[in-house]
């Protein structure tokens, strides 16, 4: 019996999701023995033509990580969608837009100006910017179009399942692989992770009082963080109340607050708005009737980079999507 064909592809991301596959350690050998990997450009010598040569639907499942940022990304994910029975949005960037999605606060032109002209380490006296086509004398060099707007994978192609995380942890990856191989998958459109909020599984949950009020907001570098106490109690913004569990509380156990990479729990449309609501409900709660508008403004201003804090991983998937382009 022929092994099911599997593809891995990397769009706009840091490469951590590819590392997560390698982090399967010995289990990677089990996966390699159970499937036929027909595309994995970052690890093996596969080309676009190899995918094009396959019949439509011949690939059992494609794991695609990274947001869609360029014309090449869009072309490849559409090709893999046609060739695959199932497509899994693998990791935060494919799922929600991720860190590359923060580029939606700017335009292509402002990003190019900053990257190629304005950074202190850049030497570009002629002000040369990337072009789609450039004549280099011996031929024409072409580059993929760099889009103004970063998109999630499901804003570009239909997605069957979502495997969250930055990157997804090995146990969830293996659970997903086993579910695919045995045909024990949940309803299409499901996120392959628990439905509980991170606060429900947090090892510090018992230190969070039922009635909580934050009088002052701190940043991690400003205090000595108590490794046993709830981050919110310490005045640190933690997205645990608005974030799906399943990560193994890796950041929490490293004594850093949650930043939301697993995305929202089921039924939540906008993770950033949910997080904002959660923080607002405990911000200055005690004695708030005595607070003046100036006091409130001073408290709110303690949140450094609110958009980047609450939409760090989810801007393209949110109701905001991007900053309005003039």
**pLDDT tens digits, 244-271:** 999 999 999 999 999 999 999 988 999 9
pLDDT, averaged across the chain: 92
pLDDT tens for residues 183-204? 999 999 999 999 999 999 999 9
Mapped onto helix, strand or coil, the DSSP state of residue 58 is coil
pTM: 0.92
pLDDT for 285 beyond 70? no
Average of pLDDT values for 78-91? 98
Question: Please, which pLDDT band fits residue 112 given cuts at 50, 70 and 90?
Answer: very high
Domain boundaries, the chain: 1-193, 198-310
CA distance 61 to 67: 18
Question: Please, which pLDDT band fits residue 326 given cuts at 50, 70 and 90?
Answer: low
Does an H or E element contain 8, and which?
Answer: strand 5-10
Domain 1-193 has CATH 3.40.50.700: yes
Question: Please, which pLDDT band fits residue 53 given cuts at 50, 70 and 90?
Answer: very high
Question: Please, which pLDDT band fits residue 287 given cuts at 50, 70 and 90?
Answer: low
CA distance 38 to 302: 50
Q: Which residues pair with 163 in a beta bridge?
A: 90
What token pair was written down for 15? 């490469």
Average of pLDDT values for 110-122? 94
Preceding peptide of 300 cis, ω within 30°: no
Question: For residue 286, what pLDDT is reported?
Answer: 61
CA distance 162 to 154: 10
């Amino acid at each position: 019996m022929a092994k099911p064909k599997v593809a891995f592809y990397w769009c706009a991301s840091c490469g951590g999701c590819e590392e997560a596959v390698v982090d399967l350690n010995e289990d990677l050998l089990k996966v390699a023995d159970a499937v036929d990997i027909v595309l994995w450009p970052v690890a093996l010598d596969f080309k676009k033509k190899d995918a094009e040569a396959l019949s439509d639907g011949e690939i059992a499942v494609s794991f695609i990580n990274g947001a869609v940022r360029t014309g090449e990304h869009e072309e490849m994910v559409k090709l893999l969608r046609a060739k695959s029975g199932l497509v899994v949005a693998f990791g935060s960037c494919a799922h929600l837009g991720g860190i590359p999605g923060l580029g939606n606060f700017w335009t292509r032109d402002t990003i190019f100006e900053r990257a190629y002209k304005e950074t202190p380490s850049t030497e570009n006296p002629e002000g040369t910017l990337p072009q789609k086509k450039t004549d280099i004398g011996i031929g024409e060099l072409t580059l993929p179009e760099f889009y103004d707007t970063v998109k999630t994978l499901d804003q570009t192609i239909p997605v069957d399942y979502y495997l969250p995380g930055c990157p997804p942890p090995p146990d969830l990856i293996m659970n997903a692989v086993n579910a695919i191989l045995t045909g024990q998958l949940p309803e299409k459109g499901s996120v392959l992770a628990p439905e509980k909020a991170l606060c429900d599984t947090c090892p510090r949950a018992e230190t969070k009082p039922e009635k909580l009020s934050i009088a002052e907001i701190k940043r991690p570098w400003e205090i000595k963080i108590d490794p046993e106490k709830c981050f919110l109690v310490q005045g640190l913004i933690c997205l645990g109340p608005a974030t799906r569990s399943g990560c193994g509380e890796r950041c929490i156990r490293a004594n850093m607050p949650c930043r939301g990479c697993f995305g929202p729990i089921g039924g939540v449309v906008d993770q950033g708005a949910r997080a904002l609501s959660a923080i607002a409900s405990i911000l200055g709660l005690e004695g708030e009737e005595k607070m003046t508008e100036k006091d409130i403004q001073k408290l709110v201003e303690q949140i450094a980079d609110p958009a980047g804090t609450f939409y760090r991983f989810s801007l393209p998937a949110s109701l905001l999507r991007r900053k309005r382009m003039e």
